Amino acid sequence: QVQLVESGGGLVQAGGSLRLSCAASGGTLNTYAMGWFRQAPGKEREFVAGISRDGGRTDFKDSVKGRFTISRDNAKNTVYLQMNSLKPEDTAVYLCASKLRIFGSGVYTGVGEYNYWGQGTQVTVSS
């Protein structure tokens, strides 16, 4: 069983930054494609950022391009989401997800493409 635990969320003012972490246990991170999603109250879960198992490819939601960076440290079994220039519309619960048994270099953007999800960490951006 794979467990994902997010951390690093909090309350920040617009223009501020946060770094989210997702620690994985129960498997080998270098065989997982990873993604970050977010879900605001009353809205559907949406893709934010994804990274291939080897870190060679990334993808981002259009509205966060240039502001967010996804990275991974497979030795630490951890994936990060660096969020800069935060806006109130970034407010949501942020969840990390993993897709297991990946040996290629693909990046996955669909909610249904992932096998495991963390509990989420709240990010609130005030104006």
What pLDDT does 54 receive? 86
pLDDT one-digit tens code per residue, 31-75: 899 999 999 999 999 999 999 988 999 999 999 999 999 999 988
Structure tokens at 63: 């509205």
Whether the pLDDT of residue 83 is over 80: the answer is yes
Whether the pLDDT of residue 27 is over 80: the answer is no
The DSSP output letter for 111 is G
What pLDDT does 31 receive? 83
Amino acid at 31: T
Name the band, by pLDDT with cuts 50, 70 and 90, for residue 28: confident
**Dihedral over Cα of 23, 27, 28, 29: its sign:** negative
